[in-house]
Amino acid sequence: MAEKRANPAGVAPADDPTPADPWTDVAQRLGTDLFLELQPDPDAGRRGRGATRRRALIEALRSAILEGRLPAGTALPPYRSLAADLGLARGTVSAVYQELIAEGWLTARQGSATRVAEGSSRPPAMIEESSPVTPSAIRHDFFLGQPCAAMFPRTDWIRATRRVLTETADDAFAPAHPQGRPELRSALAAYLGRTRGVRTTGGEIVLGTSVSSALELLSRSVFGDTIAVESHGLPFHWQPLERGGTRVVPIPIDHDGMVVADLEHSGAGAVLLTPSHQFPTGVALSPARRMQVVDWARRTGAIIVEDDYDGEFRYDRDPVGALQALGPDVVIHAGSMSKSLSPAVRVGWLALPPHLVQVVLDAKGIREPDASIVDQLVLAELIDTGAYDRHIRRSRQVYRDRRDALVAALDEIGLELPGIAAGLHAVIPVDHAEEDALVHRAYERGISIVGQSLFRHPAADPLPSGGVAVGFGTPAPSTFTTDLRALTALLADRAPA
């Protein structure tokens, strides 16, 4: 004889939900959502329908747990809420919960939610097969292209968020215009003009999520068949261009930046540059070549795209203005908040020549995935109140101190760092033959560095000398000294006497 189980609600089970049940209206507004695929027997008669639904719910919950969709510790909806969602009797769902608790699939405590029990999900071997590998062996992180996460201006961000959520009109949270919020476009136009010399207006700025996504958008709308890039640069520059259908041609670089004379014979209808701080070498495009590339674009009808990489983090050299100021009719100025604030803030922009604004908007689309409207409003508030400027100046001083500490530590072991007057990384010169081995030894010691060859376009020739790139902005403040000591020890083993 089947054992009677207590019903937590004190309600007798029923095969079908009561048609007019006020609790159903309440339960549909409570609890949490849970998707379950119920497979009842279509041939079951009315008399056996309750038992069939009960079995279907048990199997659906077991499958969700075994497949990992309901990991250990997950709180299930209250049985009355789930019953209302699934159109089942409350007694049926209550009985299912009680049976799975008895079998060890679920756990329940008085006054707490029913949860998935520990050890009830799929076997560890199955989890290991599908889980991504994490670099847990890295103890000294000098990863490139990101700021120190601990320096994110949390207090300013919270204050700005509270203000914009309190004062912004309701229509700001409706579907957005593809160009982005006018508050941030206007704030950016003023900021870029004041700090980088960019000649633009809020009406000529299009907001997005990143430089990478912006490049793919431009490759679908503005560029011709071919674009020139620096022979050594960021893979996330040329890869989205190729995804957008544009052929990429690498142009050599030297101590003055891209060799602009080679553009004349490249057949390219556009060029992508990092003129303020070339990545990875750190050199700035010389004044003569700046004028030369703008003249080339005007003569040929080409377009220049300027990624203002690390433009805000300069230390001991005169500010290098944006290339766009020399040719706002032929230069697209691209930037993002990924290094000045955080890669987690997914906001980027294009300052476009006026005749390209509508072209880009048409390609972008009305409901194209875009930067969070709340983030756009918060950033506008940070810029307008001066909080963003204060954050940049604080950050610049911290990174200058770190740069100086790195230069001094390597000077003690006979290594000199070129191209480090700006930015958040340094390239330490080594022989080509030694580059891969040094990176391998670094990882063996738990140090994350990158070989310079990683940034060479596959169709480009190597630079005259090799190197390893070190992101000195990444380490946490509490570990920077220890991290720097580990890096210095690694390099001292191979440094010349």
* DSSP letters spanning 48-82: THHHHHHHHHHHHHHHHHHTTSS-TTPBPPPHHHH
Spatial contact of 71 and 126, defined as CB atoms under 8 Å apart: no
The domain containing residue 451 runs over which residues?
A: 390-493
Domain identity same for 407 and 366: no
Domain identity same for 245 and 263: yes
b/e 220-250 (16+ beta carbons within 10 angstroms → b)? eebbeebbbbbbbbbeebbebbeebebebbb
Residues 6+ apart with CB under 8 A from 185: 179, 202, 203, 205, 207, 349
Residue that finishes a domain, picked among 116, 139, 173: 116
Domain identity same for 175 and 197: yes
Q: What is the DSSP letter of 231?
A: S
pLDDT of residue 45: 52
Domain identity same for 369 and 428: no
- Each residue of 256-304: pLDDT tens digit? 999 999 998 888 999 999 998 888 888 889 999 999 999 999 999 999 9
Domain identity same for 349 and 427: no
**Nearest 5°: CA angle at 28, between 22 and 34?**
145
- Each residue of 91-106: pLDDT tens digit? 888 888 888 887 778 8
Lowest mean per-residue pLDDT among 8-17, 86-95, 170-179: 8-17
Q: Is the pLDDT of residue 17 over 80?
A: no
Percent of the chain, pLDDT > 70?
A: 85
pLDDT of residue 22: 58
Domain identity same for 185 and 298: yes
pLDDT band for position 39 (cuts 50, 70, 90): low
pLDDT of residue 221: 87
Q: Is the pLDDT of residue 127 over 50?
A: no
The Cα 79–Cα 254 span in angstroms is 69
Instruction: Give the torsion through C-alpha atoms of 207, 211, 217, 223, to 10 deg.
Output: 120
**Nearest 5°: CA angle at 241, between 235 and 244?**
140
Domain identity same for 285 and 191: yes
Q: Record the pTM.
A: 0.75
CATH number where 188 lies: 3.40.640.10
Q: Is the pLDDT of residue 8 over 70?
A: no
Residue 1 lies in a domain: no
Question: Phi/psi of residue 271, each to 5°?
Answer: -145, 140
pLDDT of residue 120: 57
- Each residue of 55-74: pLDDT tens digit? 888 888 888 888 788 888 88
Ordered alpha helix ranges (H), 141-231: 154-167, 182-196, 211-221
Q: Is the pLDDT of residue 3 over 50?
A: no
Spatial contact of 292 and 260, defined as CB atoms under 8 Å apart: yes
The Cα 432–Cα 104 span in angstroms is 60
The count of structural domains within the chain is 3
Q: Is the pLDDT of residue 136 over 60?
A: no
CATH number where 477 lies: 3.90.1150.10
**Nearest 5°: CA angle at 98, between 97 and 103?**
95
- Each residue of 456-477: pLDDT tens digit? 888 888 888 888 999 898 898 9
Rg (CA), the chain: 30
Mean pLDDT of 160-170: 93
String of DSSP letters for 347-400 = -EEEE--GGGHHHHHHHH-TT-----HHHHHHHHHHHHHTHHHHHHHHHHHHHH
Residue 408 lies in a domain: yes
Domain identity same for 339 and 310: yes
Residues 6+ apart with CB under 8 A from 457: 229, 231, 232, 233, 238, 248, 250
pLDDT band for position 181 (cuts 50, 70, 90): very high
Residue 130 lies in a domain: no
The Cα 283–Cα 128 span in angstroms is 44
The Cα 357–Cα 205 span in angstroms is 8
Chain mean position to CA 386: 25
- Each residue of 211-226: pLDDT tens digit? 988 898 898 888 888 9
Helices 154-167 and 387-411, packing angle to 10 deg: 160
pLDDT of residue 23: 53
Q: Is the pLDDT of residue 11 over 50?
A: no
Spatial contact of 278 and 257, defined as CB atoms under 8 Å apart: yes
Domain identity same for 309 and 270: yes
Domain identity same for 347 and 400: no
Q: Is the pLDDT of residue 433 over 80?
A: yes
Residue 354 lies in a domain: yes
Give percent helix, percent strand, percent coil of the chain, each to the nearest 5.
45, 15, 45
Question: Phi/psi of residue 348, each to 5°?
Answer: -135, 175
The Cα 475–Cα 256 span in angstroms is 30
Question: Phi/psi of residue 257, each to 5°?
Answer: 95, -155
Domain identity same for 360 and 281: yes
